[in-house]
Amino acid sequence: MIIIADTTPLRYLIEIEEVHILEELFGRVIVPQAVFDELQDLRTPQKVKVWVQSHPDWLELRPADISLFTPQRKIGAGEREALALAIAFNANAVLLDDNGAIQEARRLNLHAYRTFFILEQAAEKNFLDLPEAIRKMRQTGFYLPPEEAIQAMLERDRQRKEAEEKK
């Protein structure tokens, strides 16, 4: 499976100490240079910078050829390089949260997974506790999905756990 990541999913999963779920869900994750650079920006939390500087082997840095496509929306350098890598590697999915970048991914027929989708997938496989992960996300600067979407995720998680207990 080939997964390309943008900055936001990595940054916030590192912040809430759940970045391990990426390896558990996908095996390896590829990032372009722009994402690697953004994760070391001056405004990036020190915790994230330290993790990136000594990142695990499952995180792979690759150069991106941004001439592979021309965005129709304004997107950042990390998103553009992530999408270019996704095209170049015929990726299974790209991890993104920016709405414009997600629209670009759809235009390019690429699967895009948001951070909260990743959290829910990890919870379904019992890689993390979803209510706790959401609690931690609320303490970050992450732009949260609408509250009704979060409550629906938590309800699905509760129902899944109840069904597992009945087995």
Q: What is the pLDDT of residue 167?
A: 76
DSSP 31-97: EEHHHHHHTTSTTS-HHHHHHHHT--TTEEEE---GGG---SS---HHHHHHHHHHHHTT-SEEE--
CA distances from 58 to 30, 64, 152, 158 (A): 8, 18, 31, 31
1-167: CATH superfamily: 5'-nuclease (3.40.50.1010)
Asked whether 7 and 15 are in contact (CB, 8 A), the reply is no
Q: What is the pLDDT of residue 94?
A: 98
pLDDT band at 149 (very low <50, low <70, confident <90, very high): very high
Going by C-alpha positions, the residue among 80, 81, 95 that lies closest to residue 23 is 95
Residue type at 128 in one-letter notation: L
Q: What is the pLDDT of residue 69?
A: 87
pLDDT band at 9 (very low <50, low <70, confident <90, very high): very high
pLDDT band at 111 (very low <50, low <70, confident <90, very high): very high
**27-76 pLDDT, tens per residue?**
999 999 999 999 999 999 999 999 999 999 999 999 999 998 899 999 99
Distance from C-alpha of 63 to C-alpha of 23, rounded to nearest angstrom? 21
